Structure 1
Amino acid sequence: MNNGAALILTLADEAETIRFGEDLALAFRKGDCIALSGDLGAGKSTIARAFLRALADDDTLEVPSPTFTLVQSYDLRIPVSHFDLYRLGDPSELDELGFDEALSHGVCLVEWPEMAESLLPETRVALKLEHEGDGRKVTIEGPEPQMKRLRRVLAIREFLDRHGYAGARRRFLTGDASVMRGYETIGTAAGARLVLMDWPKPPESPPVLDGKPYPKVAHLAEDVYPFVAIANYLREIGLAAPAILHADYDQGILLIENLGEEGVLDAEGKPIPERYRESVVCLGFLHSHEMLQELPAGNNHIHHVPDFDPTAMKMEARLLLDWHLPWKRGTPATDTERQEYLAIWDGLIRELDGAEKNLLLRDFHSPNIIWRAGESGIRRVGIIDFQDAMIGPTAYDLASIVQDARTDVPGPLADQLMVDYVTLRRSLGPFDEQAFQKAWAIMAAQRNCKLAGLWVRLLQRDGKPGYLKHMPRTLRYLSTALRHEVLSPLRDWCRRAGIEITE
């Protein structure tokens, strides 16, 4: 095996052994093999059972020993095949058990790996368990990518222990379209459920423009300071954002308030009008405040909220050129098409010179809005996932929710949301509706050009095909934005290039 540095852990008792098995479920991914070795009673089955129940988030999950069946399969968030090779007659029988296929689709847990060690993958992670007093010693070896993930999981456990959450129950909550962040729910001894943001420092991306990587050109947040700064600001002006309970800024770990479990979609995934309308009220409230660009974060840090500048806008719009167009028609954009497209966006961005600007949350749509029925007014709307906030045209955030990328917003509701926002802004002071409508159309087009490329990039570069289901909706939204007269050059370009545009 090509090993990273070995880890040696001491598990004091059965409870720690179970907790360790649960934490392992946060570290492993499809294609990983975990080899559990040790004498009878050393804890192999205990760890395997805890791993499976944590992955299922079901403490009652039946986990029978595969001693006689040799393999037991589980269709969980990540499929798992639990092998016990103690009764394996010959290593070659491993193929007959479907090991390779199981590994290609999920995780393989292997007890008694010694019985077929020569046929197990070189990339396996080996856990050797030994009795040590009333507890166990675990020696872990494996390839560096898997060991890095495991060390991260253990570092988060140490963070929780350090801040008074020893023994807290951890469960996977979600990842996001970013390849950087992950989230867990943390169950406390008092019965509360908190949220942990896991945001390790990302590796440097390759340069894409003027020697800068994409995150720097597009002003994407690369550490937890922006999240803390924006969360504190939103709370200060009366909006509902998560309180920051504990932070490790160097490691990129935040323990934050859980705003709730309920969203703004119904059981069928359709928008609930009342909740969308109240969310738009929050936007109007936010945009009526004085624009601030220097916001204090923790650890005596001041976060400068970046401008959504022409370079960033154009870089995002380029995703349609670089990813969507080649995927759609099988050939990349020609030099002429590229030059025309970028020149059109130069002109559209100049049209925004006089647009109203303020703090943009950037992804203000259903996945990032929590409905808090027990609260009142604007505090019924909980806001999350705002670390990439910028200063730019306020119309952008309204476009984000009126054209929600994750669900179809019916035309009448979309029209009502526009009316609600404009009516509120008029009531709060001078408001140039005509200029705002033009900015809305440009920002809606820019956002959907970005998304049309992003869905393909997530598929082809990041191996996340699930986002492609949003493509038809994104193109419909783009068609709606292109109806504004200011966007006629982009509408004509899309037709010539073969981008699917409807009337």
Structure 2
Amino acid sequence: MTPPPHAQAFLATCGWEDAQILPLAGDASFRRYFRVVDGSRSAVLMDAPPPHEDPRPFIAVAEWLVSRGLSAPAILARDLERGLLLLDDFGNGRLRETLDTDPGRERDLYALATDLLVDLHRHPAMPGLPIHGLDQWLEEVQLFIDWYCPAVEAQVDVEGYRSAWTEVLRPVASDGLGPVTVLRDYHAENIMLVDGREGVAHFGLLDFQDALAGHPAYDLASVLEDARRDVPPGIEREMMDRYMASTADAASFERAYWALAAQRNTRILGVFTRLWKRDNKPGYRRFQPRMWGLLERDLAQPHLAPVRDWFDANLAEEYRRLPWKQAA
């Protein structure tokens, strides 16, 4: 987490020449974040190095979200050629740690996370976003075949896999709900609690540069079936009902919720395996037990029977637990 060599010169051009640059966070991409401190003021430096990263989608989505009354970081300065952004600092109050420290707030804060999506989905999808529909969903679950199955040396029926997912996801793609703006990585580690702001603006949003135009159930499944923390099933059910109170077709939404939760969790199993095998980040194996637990619960839904049957026929118990055992 060493700052890029041109960071200090960039900060000098925007009035932060005397600031300290402190490591803040990295993520599964090439992006890195630093806290910039100058006396009593602070900001966040995003390093999104070209050609691996392009900060322009982040800027566009951030400005669109703010125009809709939500809290995304203000862009204080930018150097697009070198992939540097200076952002508003939302502080340290991340939802993940807040809930870990004070689990008694879980219901209230997940209610606010749900209400934020209700508010966001009242607006048509942000213009110009790529579509997140059937073709994209099928492409994403292919990551499981491409990365997870080879990692555990499982020989599987690839044609039957795609056929099963198509049967499950095609009704979701044509149910008429959406498209809306899908933040895509909406979960407890990408939500900040911003002091001095009320309502849905109290939640500061991060990591939305991959936003798409897709189904409204996707982000709700993302936050309630979190890859990195357990959400009690009772809270999940309550928040689903809370969201569906604003939906004209609750039955279609619930069907979509379970299907897209299963799709997302399957994709993540593939993504985390790719991070382990390709990017030398074996720590992502520790999430496998939670991901399998979530996926198996999703697949218990009757309308997901084609996919459940494929998993039962192709991946026995040892194939589902192997990466976790290897991480021990």
Query: Does residue 193 of structure 1 match 2:42?
Result: yes
Residues 281 and 421 in structure 1, CA contact (< 8 A), matched pair in contact too: yes
Query: Does residue 283 of structure 1 match 2:117?
Result: yes
The answer for the alignment partner of 2:257 in structure 1 is: 440
Residues 441 and 481 in structure 1, CA contact (< 8 A), matched pair in contact too: yes
Query: Does residue 174 of structure 1 match 2:58?
Result: no
The change in CA–CA distance for 1:228 and 1:274 in structure 2 (over 3 A counts) is same
Residues 165 and 306 in structure 2, CA contact (< 8 A), matched pair in contact too: no
Larger-Rg structure = 1
Instruction: Please report how far the alpha carbon of residue 378 of structure 1 lies from its aligned counterpart in structure 2 after TM superposition.
Output: 1.1
- Find the aligned partners of 1:242 and 1:252 in 2 and give their Cα distance: 16
1:370 is paired with a residue whose SS is strand
Alignment of 1:64-463 (within 5 A): 153-178=4-29, 180-189=30-39, 191-202=40-51, 222-265=53-96, 266-267=99-100, 272-293=106-127, 304-328=128-152, 330-331=153-154, 333-334=155-156, 337-351=157-171, 352-356=173-177, 357-423=179-245, 425-426=246-247, 431-463=248-280
Structure 2: gaps spanning 5 or more residues: 321-328
Structure 1: gaps spanning 5 or more residues: 1-24, 28-152, 204-221, 294-303
Residues 445 and 482 in structure 1, CA contact (< 8 A), matched pair in contact too: yes
The change in CA–CA distance for 1:263 and 1:290 in structure 2 (over 3 A counts) is same
Instruction: Please report how far the alpha carbon of residue 268 of structure 1 lies from its aligned counterpart in structure 2 after TM superposition.
Output: 5.4
Residues 194 and 202 in structure 2, CA contact (< 8 A), matched pair in contact too: yes
The change in CA–CA distance for 1:275 and 1:317 in structure 2 (over 3 A counts) is same
Letter in 1 for 2:238: Q
- Find the aligned partners of 2:148 and 2:288 in 1 and give their Cα distance: 10
CA RMSD of aligned residues (A): 2.0
Residues 284 and 421 in structure 1, CA contact (< 8 A), matched pair in contact too: yes
Instruction: Please report how far the alpha carbon of residue 167 of structure 1 lies from its aligned counterpart in structure 2 after TM superposition.
Output: 1.8
| Deviation by residue 1:112-136 (Cα, 9 ceiling, x = unmatched) | xxxxxxxxxxxxxxxxxxxxxxxxx
| Deviation by residue 1:349-378 (Cα, 9 ceiling, x = unmatched) | 321222412100001001101112532111
Residues 144 and 270 in structure 2, CA contact (< 8 A), matched pair in contact too: yes
Residues 168 and 307 in structure 2, CA contact (< 8 A), matched pair in contact too: no
- Find the aligned partners of 2:77 and 2:196 in 1 and give their Cα distance: 25
Residues 64 and 126 in structure 2, CA contact (< 8 A), matched pair in contact too: no
Instruction: Please report how far the alpha carbon of residue 257 of structure 1 lies from its aligned counterpart in structure 2 after TM superposition.
Output: 0.5
- Find the aligned partners of 2:316 and 2:241 in 1 and give their Cα distance: 30
- Find the aligned partners of 1:305 and 1:343 in 2 and give their Cα distance: 28
Letter in 1 for 2:122: S
Instruction: Please report how far the alpha carbon of residue 486 of structure 1 lies from its aligned counterpart in structure 2 after TM superposition.
Output: 2.2
Which of 287, 312, 320 is the matching residue for 1:470? 287
Letter in 1 for 2:33: Y
- Find the aligned partners of 1:377 and 1:392 in 2 and give their Cα distance: 25
| Paired positions, count | 314
- Find the aligned partners of 1:322 and 1:268 in 2 and give their Cα distance: 38
**Higher-RCO chain (CA-CA 8 Å, sequence separation at least 6):** 2
| Deviation by residue 1:224-247 (Cα, 9 ceiling, x = unmatched) | 111111111111111111111111
- Find the aligned partners of 1:359 and 1:499 in 2 and give their Cα distance: 37
Instruction: Please report how far the alpha carbon of residue 184 of structure 1 lies from its aligned counterpart in structure 2 after TM superposition.
Output: 0.6
Letter in 1 for 2:32: G
Instruction: Please report how far the alpha carbon of residue 269 of structure 1 lies from its aligned counterpart in structure 2 after TM superposition.
Output: 9.0
Identity in percent: 34
Letter in 1 for 2:115: V
Residues 168 and 187 in structure 1, CA contact (< 8 A), matched pair in contact too: yes
